[in-house]
Structure 1
Amino acid sequence: MSGISHINKLLVTGSNGWVGRAACASIENRGWSVRAAVRSTSVADLPDDVVQVGSVNNQTHWAPALSGIHTVLHCAARVHVMTDTAQDPLSEFRKVNVDGTLNLARQASAAGVKRYIFMSSVKVNGESTRSGHSFTEADTANPQDPYAISKFEAEQGLRQIAAVTGMEVVIIRPPLVYGPGVKANFAALMHAVQRGWPLPLGAAHNQRSLVALDNLVDFILTCATHPSAANQTFLVSDGQDLSTTELVRGMARAANVPTRLLPIPVWALQTAGQWLGQGAAVQR
Structure 2
Amino acid sequence: MKKILITGSTGFVGTNLKEYLNENEIESLNIRYVTGQKIEIETDIVIHLAGKAHDLKKVSKPNDYYEANFELTKQLFDTFLCSSASVFVFMSTVKAVADKVEGILVEDITPNPETHYGISKQQAEAYILSNKLPEGKRVFILRPCMIHGPNNKGNLNLLYEVVQKGLPWPLAAFENKRSFLSIENLCFIIKKIIENQHIESGVYNLADDQFLSTNELVQIISSVCNKKNRTLSIPKTIINSIAKAGDLIKLPLNSETIQKLTENYRVSNQKIKSAIGIERLPYTATQGLEKTIKSFINK
TM-score, with length taken from structure 1: 0.83
Identity of matched residues, %: 26
CA contact (8 A) 2:148 2:154 kept: no
Question: What is the identity, as a one-letter code, of the residue corresponding to 1:158?
Answer: I
Question: What is the identity, as a one-letter code, of the residue corresponding to 2:258?
Answer: V
CA shift for structure 1 position 243 = 0.6
Please name the residue that 2:297 is paired with: none
CA contact (8 A) 1:123 1:148 kept: yes
CA contact (8 A) 1:203 1:265 kept: yes
CA contact (8 A) 2:81 2:133 kept: no
Q: Which 5+ residue runs of structure 2 have no aligned equivalent?
A: 248-253, 261-299
Aligned counterparts, 1:192-271, within 5 A: 192-271=162-241
Please name the residue that 2:287 is paired with: none
C-alpha spacing 1:266/1:26, structure 2 compared with 1 (3 Å)? farther
CA shift for structure 1 position 56 = 3.6
Say yes or no: does 1:103 pair with 2:75. yes
Residues in 2 aligned to 1:33 and 1:116: alpha-carbon distance in whole angstroms: 16
Question: What is the identity, as a one-letter code, of the residue corresponding to 1:83?
Answer: K
Question: What is the identity, as a one-letter code, of the residue corresponding to 1:279?
Answer: S
Please name the residue that 1:116 is paired with: 88
CA shift for structure 1 position 252 = 0.8
Residues in 1 aligned to 2:197 and 2:238: alpha-carbon distance in whole angstroms: 50
CA contact (8 A) 2:47 2:88 kept: yes
CA contact (8 A) 1:124 1:142 kept: yes
Indicate which of 141, 152, 155 corresponds to 1:185: 155
Please name the residue that 1:32 is paired with: 24
Residues in 2 aligned to 1:258 and 1:59: alpha-carbon distance in whole angstroms: 57
Please name the residue that 2:59 is paired with: 85
- Determine helix, strand or coil for the equivalent of 1:227: coil
CA contact (8 A) 2:45 2:85 kept: yes
Please name the residue that 1:48 is paired with: none
CA contact (8 A) 1:23 1:217 kept: yes
Q: Which 5+ residue runs of structure 1 have no aligned equivalent?
A: 1-6, 39-52
CA shift for structure 1 position 117 = 0.4
Please name the residue that 1:128 is paired with: 100
- Determine helix, strand or coil for the equivalent of 2:104: coil
C-alpha spacing 1:35/1:196, structure 2 compared with 1 (3 Å)? same
Question: What is the identity, as a one-letter code, of the residue corresponding to 1:115?
Answer: V
Please name the residue that 1:151 is paired with: 121
CA contact (8 A) 2:138 2:201 kept: yes
CA contact (8 A) 1:175 1:236 kept: yes
- Determine helix, strand or coil for the equivalent of 1:234: strand
